[in-house]
Amino acid sequence: MNGKRHLILLLTCLLLGCGLVSTLQAQESRCPADTPLADKTNWMRLLADTIAAYDVVLPGTHDSGAQHGGALLQTQDLDIPTQLEAGVRAFDIRLREHKGQLGLYHSHAFQHVYWESDVLPALVNFLKRNPSEFLVVSLKCEGGEAADYRRLLSQSLSQETYSPYFLTNWTVHLTLAECRGRILFLHRDEVMEHYPGVRCEGWADNATSLLTLRTAQGNTTQVLLQDEYQYKSAAEAPKKLEAILSSLRQMHRPDKSATYRSGISFISATAYPYATPKQFAKRLNAAVAERIAAEHLTPRGILFIDFIGLPGGKQLVEQLIRSNFH
């Protein structure tokens, strides 16, 4: 009799234990969508390997290195290594030859940071420490001689130390598992020969348009591009907000069977010389996050944001990360 009681007690404990484990696992799987992520350093580890990288939404920074040049040119309050730790996974890098290297620039303003010795090593070292993550880096020639840009970029991206971390065979069918620990480059204008990543064709200035991404092997993908940035004053922030939301609704994927188009949407704007990027960021970042939540939007692609260190910027990055788990 005692043996039967012990057996029943053991089975009961096992069943309760299994139920408790299942409950905890379910809570853990819901955690990213329902509660703030305390540590955003490697948030992509929580995503399934089997999902398409094309279906992930990445928080990004516009003019990622622009911390200098005055109020009209500054777009960020955190440096790139800190942005990585804060959950940013897409970067808008503008380069020009400076003292024999590629310096980061915004317009005419040198940002006291170099691509070869500062930014590229920071990106690769981050991936070494966090191999679950996937990065997208947009590269643009920001003035100077195009030939110098191509030559120096080719030298940096051809180094055997770094090249294993670059995606060279991009297609919309790649799974996240195939992209983890890698960088996808978006070449906005000038490209080196046999470039890694994709070349952007049809990047319309200050407009919304369709953008073609072309690999060196000839594979193409079309994405939506919203890059409307020039306004008359900060009072036109609601106009920019509508341009953003229009793009996000087109990038929205309510379920796996829905038709949608991945895209790139810039949350940044200016009213040069009358209003600064920070003035727009304070009006836009939190508003975009709140509308994404209110409309239950699940956009797919990249959102490039200004001043992610401000409260509204932090809120928007958090919202975008969590939207991957809906």
Q: How far is CA 278 from CA 11, 110, 177, 275, 312, in A?
A: 61, 19, 36, 8, 11
Residues contacting residue 195 through CB under 8 Å, at least 6 positions apart: 157, 185, 187, 216
Compute the CA torsion angle 181, 138, 44, 249 (nearest 10 deg): -150
Among the four given CATH numbers 3.20.20.190, 3.40.50.300, 3.40.50.2000, 3.40.640.10, the one describing domain 53-323 = 3.20.20.190
The pLDDT mean for the chain works out to 90
- How would residue 30 be classed by pLDDT, with cut points 50, 70 and 90? very low
Asked whether the CA dihedral 260, 264, 268, 269 is positive or negative, the reply is negative
Q: What is the pTM of this model?
A: 0.89
Question: In the chain, what percentage of residues exceed pLDDT 90?
Answer: 83
For the cut 90, the answer to whether the pLDDT of residue 116 exceeds it is: yes
- How would residue 28 be classed by pLDDT, with cut points 50, 70 and 90? very low
Per-residue model confidence as pLDDT tens digits over 56-69: 999 999 999 999 99
Question: In the chain, what percentage of residues exceed pLDDT 70?
Answer: 87
pLDDT for res 37: 77
Q: Whole-angstrom distance between the N-terminal and C-terminal Cα of the chain?
A: 51
Per-residue model confidence as pLDDT tens digits over 278-326: 999 999 999 999 999 999 999 999 999 999 999 999 999 999 999 999 7
For the cut 60, the answer to whether the pLDDT of residue 267 exceeds it is: yes
Of 190 and 49, the structure prediction assigns the larger pLDDT to 49
pLDDT for res 255: 67
Spatial distance between the Cα atoms of 221 and 197, rounded to a whole number of angstroms: 12
pLDDT for res 211: 96
Spatial distance between the Cα atoms of 30 and 35, rounded to a whole number of angstroms: 8
Mean pLDDT of 247-275: 87
Per-residue model confidence as pLDDT tens digits over 197-236: 999 999 999 999 999 999 999 999 999 999 999 999 999 9
Answer left, alpha or beta for residue 107, where phi above 0 means left and psi between -120 and 50 means alpha: left
**Residue 15, H or E segment:** helix 2-34
For the cut 80, the answer to whether the pLDDT of residue 20 exceeds it is: no
Asked whether the beta carbons of 250 and 225 are under 8 A apart, the reply is no
For the cut 70, the answer to whether the pLDDT of residue 120 exceeds it is: yes
Residue 290 tokens read as 């709140």
pLDDT for res 258: 58
pLDDT for res 36: 60
Mean pLDDT of 114-129: 98
Q: What are the boundaries of each domain within the chain?
A: 53-323
pLDDT for res 34: 54
Spatial distance between the Cα atoms of 114 and 101, rounded to a whole number of angstroms: 7
Asked whether the beta carbons of 37 and 321 are under 8 A apart, the reply is yes
For the cut 80, the answer to whether the pLDDT of residue 7 exceeds it is: no
Asked whether the beta carbons of 288 and 318 are under 8 A apart, the reply is no
Tell me which long-range contacts 191-200 makes (C-beta under 8 A, separation of at least 24).
191/150, 192/150, 192/153, 192/154, 192/157, 193/154, 195/157, 196/157, 196/163, 196/166, 196/167, 196/168, 197/137, 197/166, 197/167, 197/168, 197/170, 198/170, 200/138
pLDDT for res 189: 93
Tokens 């003019």 label which residue? 63
Please, which residues bridge with residue 263 across strands?
224, 301
Mean pLDDT of 183-190: 96
- How would residue 27 be classed by pLDDT, with cut points 50, 70 and 90? very low
Q: How far is CA 253 from CA 30, 55, 259, 311, in A?
A: 19, 9, 7, 27
Answer left, alpha or beta for residue 275, where phi above 0 means left and psi between -120 and 50 means alpha: beta
Spatial distance between the Cα atoms of 39 and 201, rounded to a whole number of angstroms: 36
Q: What are phi and psi of 95, to 5 degrees?
A: -125, 150
For the cut 90, the answer to whether the pLDDT of residue 14 exceeds it is: no
